[in-house]
Amino acid sequence: MVLLQIANPSKRLGGLSPKDAALYNAGGDLIVVRASGGIEVKAASSFTCTIGGLTFTITNAGVDIDGGYLKVNGVRVDDTHTHGGIVEGSGFTEVPVS
pLDDT tens figures, 59-71: 999 999 999 888 8
Beta bridge partners of 71: 76
- For residues 78, 79, 85 and 87, what is the CA-based torsion angle, rounded to 10 degrees? 150
pLDDT tens figures, 32-68: 999 999 999 999 999 999 999 999 999 999 999 999 8
This model's pTM is above 0.85: no
**One-letter amino acid for residue 95 of the chain:** V
- Closest among 66, 25, 73 to 13, alpha carbons compared: 25
Kindly state the DSSP code that residue 93 receives in the 8-state scheme: P
